[in-house]
Amino acid sequence: MKAIGLNFADVYRRKGNYHLKGNPPFIAGYEGAGIVVDNNNHPEYKIGDRVAFADVPFANAELVAVNINHVLPLPEAISFETAAAILLQGLTAQYLATDSHKTTKGETVLIHAVAGGVGQFLTQISKSLDANVIGLTSSPDKAKVAIEQGADHVFLYNEDWKSEIFKIIPNGVDVVYDSIGSTLSDSFEVTKECGQVVFFGMAGGDPEPVNPRMLMDTSKTLTGGDLWSYLNSKEERIKRSGQLFNWIIEGKIKLSEPTSFKLSEGKQAHDYLESRKSTGKIILIP
């Protein structure tokens, strides 16, 4: 292992909110990149190959056993640090913009937590698909980050952001990407008739139940999003990661420098992630 990605899912697992593999004491981590040191006689990969993975448990280690179906070839143009910083969040943004909602030219998309890892990638992917992007975040510093990533407008959660959105687009937005959960009813309020809300995270807590009558009366759609539904085969993993790597190589996605901690500084890394002060990705270096 050369670099390991840290995600909010690791915090949830540590707190007992997410399923963990194995028996205590648990080893956290699910994504990373490194070099093959033992190919176990698989002809596809040889010792010394640069590889990465997005969905393999026990990643917080110097050596990780990776199922052959989960190995992702890593192009020379992509560093280990970049791979560890982009795979889970980048693949999430990729399916959100191309599967959950097929983003088309001229649409207006609203992205919650726009300065976070998924938010930054989703902004850039949406812009590359010629959509307009409105972002929501918690501080002026994070708003600045989102504008730098290409967002057209960014509002703060402590503002009257719903009114501000209607000033820009009176009929409402085409799609909302909601990773907060507790904001779901607000997301529907700012969605146009026949629009869509994609719910893919609960950083702010569980959402209130959605009334099917509201969906019927407004012709709005609620779509759930979970990356594991899409990373369901070796072919899908390689195809999706390949598209993501190509977007980086072509300059359609640019990464802000990840914050690095030593693997032995895992507690500090978790504390920093939970402080909500971080923008972009945190990685661990064995």
CATH number of the domain within which 248 lies: 3.90.180.10
Query: Is 174 found in the same domain as 115?
Result: yes
In a domain, 100, yes or no: no
Over residues 118-130, the mean pLDDT reads: 95
Look at the pTM and tell me if it is higher than 0.85: yes
Tell whether 143 and 251 lie within a shared domain.
no
Q: 128 in a domain, yes or no?
A: yes
- Domain extent, residue 17, equals 3-88+230-285
Residue 177 has pLDDT above 80, yes or no: yes
Q: Is the pLDDT of residue 4 over 80?
A: yes
Q: Is residue 175 part of a domain?
A: yes
Residues 209 and 167 in one domain: yes
pLDDT band at 13 (very low <50, low <70, confident <90, very high): confident
Spell out the residues 6+ positions from residue 163 whose beta carbon is closer than 8 angstroms to its own. none
pLDDT of residue 158: 96
Q: Based on the fold, state whether residues 67 and 168 are members of the same structural domain.
A: no
What gap in Å lies between CA 72 and CA 12, rounded to an integer?
Answer: 25
What mean pLDDT do residues 227-247 have? 95
The residue that leads in pLDDT, 257 or 64, is: 64
Residue 88 has pLDDT above 90, yes or no: yes
Answer yes or no: is pLDDT of 56 > 80. yes
- Encode pLDDT of 91-106 as tens digits: 999 999 999 999 999 9
* Residue 16: predicted pLDDT: 83
**Residue 78 falls within a domain, yes or no?**
yes
Q: Would you place residue 21 in the very low, low, confident or very high pLDDT band (cuts 50, 70, 90)?
A: confident
3-state secondary structure labels for all residues of the chain: CCEEEECHHHHHHHCCCCCCCCCCCCCCCCEEEEECCCCCCCCCCCCCCEEEECCCCCCCCCCCCCCHHHCEECCCCCCHHHHHHHHHHHHHHHHHHHHHCCCCCCCEEEECCCCCHHHHHHHHHHHHCCCEEEEEECCHHHHHHHHHCCCCEEEECCCCHHHHHHHHCCCCEEEEEECCCCCHHHHHHCEEEEEEEEECCCCCCCCCCCCHHHHHHHCCEEEECCHHHCCCCHHHHHHHHHHHHHHHHCCCCCCCCCEEEEHHHHHHHHHHHHCCCCCCCEEEEC
Of 22-31, 90-99, 123-132, least confident by mean pLDDT is 22-31
**Statement to judge: residues 192 and 253 lie in one domain:** no
**Last residue within a domain, chosen from 224, 244, 275:** 224
Looking up residue 190, the CATH number of its domain turns out to be: 3.40.50.720
Task: Assess if residue 199 is contained within a domain.
Answer: yes
109 and 220 inside one domain: yes
Domain total for the chain?
Answer: 2
* Residue 220 domain-assigned (yes or no): yes
